[in-house]
């Protein structure tokens, strides 16, 4: 292999870390700017990329997230296209172009990977996310952060959306009947108590979908196999459940403890909550994770078994992670040694009480997780694993 590739450049979270890792691995890469105006078919962009491939003869093209228009260009030029998905839900995964033989698509949720393979799609692979622990762990200017709104005021912190902003899809369902609203609220309440399996899509009957479509038209794409049920489940209902669950859990914590919240909705007021507003994920969040004695993670409901990026970045910053259980954690970490998980609201509160009073144990767990990140969950290792999988039969 000549270690030459083309990177699709767009405003992707983690792209600077990817490119640093490629340089560390000795890869020679060039970039092709991608405005992301048309993700499925863009003849002008495809022509540009095909010309670039012809000029440079790369071993493969790489992108964070998968784009059908890139897949078309790679298929035409017969060059491998390696993509790594970090968003979920991600509707472009249901484009028919996913099945192109030049694709090597890596998803971070093993349950999603199994779904594709059970349907005969062999271009999709499983690859957990990671974090640049070396970079995240280097941030140490706590004195500077004392002068900013990003300095913690409490022992517990949560960084993430509560999906309470005005543009959320569920809030647009203003004219649905009381029957439909009652059905959806009962369904969401039931799902909020279940992890490891999501039944929302299969529990949305046609009459409910038809009524929601009047307020919120969601139409499957012409080149996709996603259904109306999938779109409403993933982009509307699961986000709503996540917001309700996160708010409920934070309210519960607020009955006994003060905590710091870093979220988009700066006007949101919750008991015992210091709402700092949205934080810079690259430079602010690592300091928050380092300062907090306990960093919380409540996984988006559309992520069935995968480890969300936030969890990797908490551990990779040297922070202590307390999270809901996700099965894929077992592939990367040891519970009670590298992080701690809870199984219910009651369990969460009991573990918070225990952890706050056992500083040595909490610090050891955070340190173990960080050292494991440095050794095993780096961008260099993930990229090597993806590239080896793509070229193992060559």
C-alpha Rg value of the chain to the nearest Å: 22
* pLDDT tens-digit readout, 7-28: 999 999 999 999 999 999 999 9
**What does the pLDDT average to over 221-229?**
92
pLDDT of residue 2: 76
Give the global pTM: 0.95
pLDDT of residue 343: 94
Cβ(45)–Cβ(67) below 8 Å = no
What domains does the chain contain, in order, with CATH numbers? 4-130+378-391 (3.40.50.2000), 134-168+234-376 (3.40.50.2000)
Kindly give the interhelix angle for 68-77 and 43-56, rounded to the nearest 10 degrees. Answer: 40
CA distance 160 to 155: 17
Q: How confident is the model at residue 314 (pLDDT cuts 50, 70, 90)?
A: very high
**What does the pLDDT average to over 223-229?**
93
CA distance 104 to 32: 19
Residue 67 pLDDT more than 70? yes
Residue 308 pLDDT more than 70? yes
Cβ(69)–Cβ(41) below 8 Å = yes
Give the bridge partners for 335, in sequence order: 339
Greater confidence (373 vs 283) lies with 373
Closest alpha carbon to 233 in 257, 245, 248, 216: 216
CA dist 232 → 169, 174, 352, 367 (Å): 9, 15, 35, 41
CA distance 361 to 363: 5
CA dist 296 → 289, 311, 316 (Å): 10, 9, 14
CA dist 200 → 203, 230, 304, 319 (Å): 5, 9, 12, 33
**What does the pLDDT average to over 198-207?**
95
Residue 317 pLDDT more than 90? yes
For 37, how many CA atoms within 13 A lie in the half-sphere containing its CB?
7
Q: How confident is the model at residue 166 (pLDDT cuts 50, 70, 90)?
A: low
Residue 145 pLDDT more than 90? no
pLDDT of residue 193: 85
Of 16-30, 189-203, 239-253, 370-384, which range is least confident? 189-203
């Amino acid at each position: 292999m000549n270690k030459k590739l083309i990177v699709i450049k767009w405003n992707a979270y983690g792209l600077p870390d990817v490119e640093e890792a490629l340089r560390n691995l000795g890869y020679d890469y060039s970039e092709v700017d991608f405005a992301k105006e048309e993700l499925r078919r863009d003849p002008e962009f495809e022509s540009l990329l095909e010309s670039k491939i012809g000029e440079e003869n790369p071993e493969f093209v790489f992108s964070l997230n998968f784009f059908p228009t890139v897949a078309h260009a790679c298929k035409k030029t017969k060059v491998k296209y390696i993509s790594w998905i970090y968003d979920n839900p991600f509707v472009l995964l249901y484009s028919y172009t996913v099945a192109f033989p030049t694709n090597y698509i890596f998803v971070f949720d093993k349950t999603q990977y199994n779904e594709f393979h059970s349907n005969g799609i062999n271009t999709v692979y499983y690859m957990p996310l990671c974090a640049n622990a070396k970079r995240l762990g280097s941030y140490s200017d706590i004195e500077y952060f004392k002068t900013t709104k990003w300095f913690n005021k409490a022992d517990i912190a949560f960084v993430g959306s509560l999906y309470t902003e005005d543009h959320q899809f569920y809030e647009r369902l203003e004219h649905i009947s009381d029957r439909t609203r009652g059905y959806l609220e009962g369904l969401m309440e039931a799902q909020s108590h279940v992890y490891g399996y999501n039944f929302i899509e299969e529990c949305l009957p046609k009459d409910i979908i038809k009524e929601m479509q009047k307020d919120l038209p969601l139409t499957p794409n012409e080149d996709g196999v996603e259904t109306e049920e999938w779109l409403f489940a993933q982009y509307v209902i699961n986000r709503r459940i996540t917001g309700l669950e996160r708010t409920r859990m934070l309210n519960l914590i607020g009955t006994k403890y003060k905590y710091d919240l870093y979220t988009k909705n700066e006007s949101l007021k919750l008991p015992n909550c210091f709402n700092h507003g949205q934080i810079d994920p690259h430079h602010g969040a690592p300091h928050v994770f380092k300062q907090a004695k306990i960093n919380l993670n409540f996984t988006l409901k559309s992520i069935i078994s995968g480890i969300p990026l936030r969890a990797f970045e908490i551990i990779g910053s040297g922070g202590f992670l307390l999270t809901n259980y996700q099965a894929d954690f077992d592939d990367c970490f040891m519970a009670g040694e590298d992080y701690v998980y809870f199984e219910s609201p009651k369990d969460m509160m009991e573990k918070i009480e225990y952890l706050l009073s056992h500083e040595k144990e909490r610090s050891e767990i955070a340190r173990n997780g960080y050292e494991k990140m440095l050794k095993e969950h780096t961008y260099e290792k993930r990229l090597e694993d993806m590239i080896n999988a793509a070229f193992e039969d060559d």
